[in-house]
Amino acid sequence: MNVNAPTMQSAREAFDLAGMAVAPDASGALWIAAERALVVADLHLEKGSAFAERRVLLPPYDTAATLARLTAVIARHDPRVVVALGDSFHDIRAGGRMTERDRDGLRALTSGREWIWIAGNHDPAPPEGLGGVAMPELRLASLTLRHEPVVGSAPGEIAGHLHPVARVWSESGSTRRRCFVGDGARLVLPAFGAYAGGLNIRDVAFGGLFRGEVHAHALGRDRVYRVPMSRCAPD
């Protein structure tokens, strides 16, 4: 049996997205079991060194940290295909700034399976020599995978770009977490990158995306919590 504990966990938290069962992972990735597809958004690799170019010398370990988490979630699910939903690289010079070690690590990930780089506004094309196939967007059964959510109705859309976070409150206090946000028809994924900031789902940028009842799927330590919008405060 290759069904391990995390997959069971994911199965428990799975929900229906435009007729397809999808499972949010506590790492911030989305697992689509029927397609054995793993989707991640906004890796922002080499964001640290992009700051360094402007002489803000943030720790240069963000790419290694992001790849380590990606490696772990891939090992758990063993996907047939991995889809990176754009802004995988922080800018077009990112490939050149990656350390050899991180390049090797990424190549090892992309070579073992089908790998798709969806184009993002930060990375219209992925760097050379890292494997994977570049696409503007991808249809996967009834789903459409793209970087930026389109304006208006888009059933079956899975997107990134917005870096959703929720400030979840209860009687015990409040906590700000990265989250998936969706209404059952479309879904926005949290940013996966170690240095990716967040935008509160109460921000106007999320306005107009959803028609149905909206839920945040907030990332906890080991699992994802489905939280009603009434429990999500603005910043």
Partner 1 sequence: MKRAPPSPLPAVFQTWFATRGWTPRAHQLDLLTKARAGDSALLIAPTGAGKTLAGFLPTLVELSSRPRRTRGAGLHTLYISPLKALASDVARNLETPIADMGLDIRVETRTGDTPASKRLRQRRDPPDILLTTPEQLALLLASDDATTLFATVRRVVLDELHAIVASKRGDLLALGLARLRRLAPEATTVGLSATVREPDELRRWLVDRRAGKKAALVVAPPGAPAELSMLDTRERLPWAGHGAAHAIHEIYERIKGAKTTLVFVNTRAQAEAIFQQLWHINEDGLAIALHHGSLDAGQRRKVEAAMVEGRLKAVVCTSTLDLGIDWGDVDLVINVGAPKGASRLLQRIGRANHRLDEPSRAVLVPANRFEVLECRAAIDAAEAGAQDTQLAREGGLDVLCQHILGMACAGPLDARELYGEVVSAEPYAALSQDLFDDALDFVATGGYALKSYDRFAKIKRMQDGRWRVAHPKIAQAYRMNVGTIVESEMLRVRLVRGAGPAKPTGSPRGGQRLINYPARLSGESAPQAAYTGRVTRGGRVLGEIEEYFLEMLSPGDTFLFGGEILSLVGIVENEAHVARARSDSPKVPSYAGGKFPLSTYLAARVREIISNPAKWERLPEQVREWLALQRDKSMLPPANRLLVETFPRGSRHFLVCYPFEGRLAHQTLGMLLTRRMERMGLKPQGFVANEYALAVWSLADVSAPRVDMAGLFARDMLGDDLEEWLEESALMKRTFRNCAVISGLIERRFPGKEKSGRQVTMSTDLVYDVLRRHQPDHILLRAARADAMTGLLDLARLADMLARVEGRIVHRRLARISPLAVPVMLEIGREPVYGEAQDQILAEAASVLIDDAMGPA
158-197 footprint of partner 1 as x/- string (CB under 8 A) = -------x--xxxxxxxxxx-----x----------xxxx
DSSP 35: G
Total residues contacting partner 1 (rule CB under 8 A)? Answer: 58
Is 32 an interacting residue with respect to partner 1 (CB under 8 A)? no
Is 103 an interacting residue with respect to partner 1 (CB under 8 A)? no
DSSP 113: S
Is 228 an interacting residue with respect to partner 1 (CB under 8 A)? yes
> CA 214, CA 164: separation in Å to the nearest integer?
13
Nearer to partner 1, 4 or 175 (CB): 175
Is 104 an interacting residue with respect to partner 1 (CB under 8 A)? no
225: CB partners within 8 A, 6+ apart? 168, 217, 218
Nearer to partner 1, 139 or 211 (CB): 211
In three-state secondary structure terms, 142 is: coil
Q: What is the dihedral of CA 133, 197, 23, 5, to 10 degrees?
A: 100
Tokens coding 11: 């199965």
Is 144 an interacting residue with respect to partner 1 (CB under 8 A)? no
Nearer to partner 1, 63 or 88 (CB): 63
Q: Within the chain, where are the H helices?
A: 5-13, 47-53, 62-77, 94-97, 100-111
Nearer to partner 1, 48 or 120 (CB): 48
**Tokens 């090992």, located at residue:** 75
Please select the residue that binds partner 1; options are 9, 14, 184, 225, rule is CB under 8 A.
225
> CA 235, CA 140: separation in Å to the nearest integer?
35
Is 210 an interacting residue with respect to partner 1 (CB under 8 A)? yes
Chain residues binding partner 1 by CB under 8 A are 48-49, 51-53, 55-62, 64-65, 97, 99, 165, 168-177, 183, 194-198, 201-204, 206-208, 210, 212-214, 218, 220-221, 225-231, 233-235
